Amino acid sequence: MSEEINTSHCRFYENKYPEIDDVVIVNIKEIADMGAYVKLLEYDDIEGMILLSELSRRRIRSIQKHVKVGKNEVVVVMRVDTDKGYIDLSKRRVSPEDAAKAEEKYNKSKAVHSILRHVAEKHKVPLKTLYETIGWPLSRKYGHAYDAFKIAITSPDTVFEDITGPSPVILEEVKTQIGRKLTPNPTKIRADIAVSCFSYEGVEAVKAALKAGEALNSEQVPIQIKLVAAPLFVLTSLSVHKQKAIETLNEAIEVIKTNIEAAGGTLEVKMAPKAVTENDDAELAKLMEKSEAETRMVSGDEYDSGDDNEDFN
């Protein structure tokens, strides 16, 4: 009988064991008098122990108050005996900063593992082979395979130009899974503003100010401005660059404000730029429908849009 191909288990990193002072993620397997037996999740579940004296800086009256079976913990490696298989760990020596970095690294590693495992299972190849030919070489070059995968979303040829071990079919599958699992979902950013100008050219001044703000539109941060019900307008951007979109909408509001005030008008921010939910959009849609039903724009009297949902392009 042929040996079963392991398509689900493999350590995340090239080194078989962690180094002393490495901060790692473990899962509590068993609590004993000497401490807690754990499995190192990033190293194919090899066993280690958090000694009783290393559980907490405080006096320990009950181990169960400090660790629970089945729970993940962040620990630092104190001793590694590869011959006997002993790995001694400490929970009390981990700083909050070290814990945050370790958890970030672990989450990155899980994302890489998920992609490589999917490809291994689909194409019936050993998972370790994919780590040896893709994951670990990219980690050596980019610091972490996850960072390489993120770059590969837009520049796959650059990232994989030196990866020659896997077949072209395997590489294409990896690229496909990266695109599916790591491409960020766009976030909708919205701001509500009231823009008024009662000078002789008030309507045209408002339109010109809005167009000036919308001119900050870019491929990374597209901007749309729509009329809700005079003088209320909504600015929206659907972008994967959330913070950049918020900053750009703020800049657009400042541009609109400068232009409308120069024409003798005013701008009031009703809602500063922020990420919005489907419920927020539903409420806005209802408001726009109500406004459209109650008010029809009349040329010469109000904004000559012909449609309450006009884009100011």
Q: The whole model's pTM is what?
A: 0.66
pLDDT average per 10 residues of sequence, the chain (313 residues): 66 96 96 89 95 73 73 95 89 93 96 96 95 97 96 92 91 95 91 93 94 94 92 93 94 97 95 84 66 49 44 56
Domain made up of 100-182: CATH architecture: Orthogonal Bundle (1.10)
List the one residue out of 22, 33, 32 whose CA is nearest residue 89: 22
pLDDT the model gives residue 287 = 64
The CATH superfamily of 187-295 is: EIF_2_alpha (3.30.70.1130)
pLDDT the model gives residue 296 = 47
Q: Could you tell me where in the chain the CATH 3.30.70.1130 domains are found?
A: 187-295
pLDDT the model gives residue 9 = 87
Residue 283, Ramachandran bin (φ over 0: left; ψ between -120 and 50: alpha; else beta): alpha
Q: Could you tell me where in the chain the CATH 2.40.50.140 domains are found?
A: 22-93
pLDDT the model gives residue 67 = 77
Overall fold of domain 22-93: OB fold (Dihydrolipoamide Acetyltransferase, E2P) (2.40.50)
pLDDT in tens, 178-201: 999 998 888 999 999 999 999 888
Long-range pairs for 235-240 at CB < 8 Å and ≥24 separation?
235/190, 235/191, 235/192, 235/193, 235/273, 236/188, 236/189, 236/190, 236/191, 237/188, 237/189, 237/190, 238/186, 238/187, 238/188, 238/189, 239/186, 239/187, 239/189, 240/183, 240/184, 240/185, 240/186, 240/187
Q: Could you tell me where in the chain the CATH 1.10.150.190 domains are found?
A: 100-182
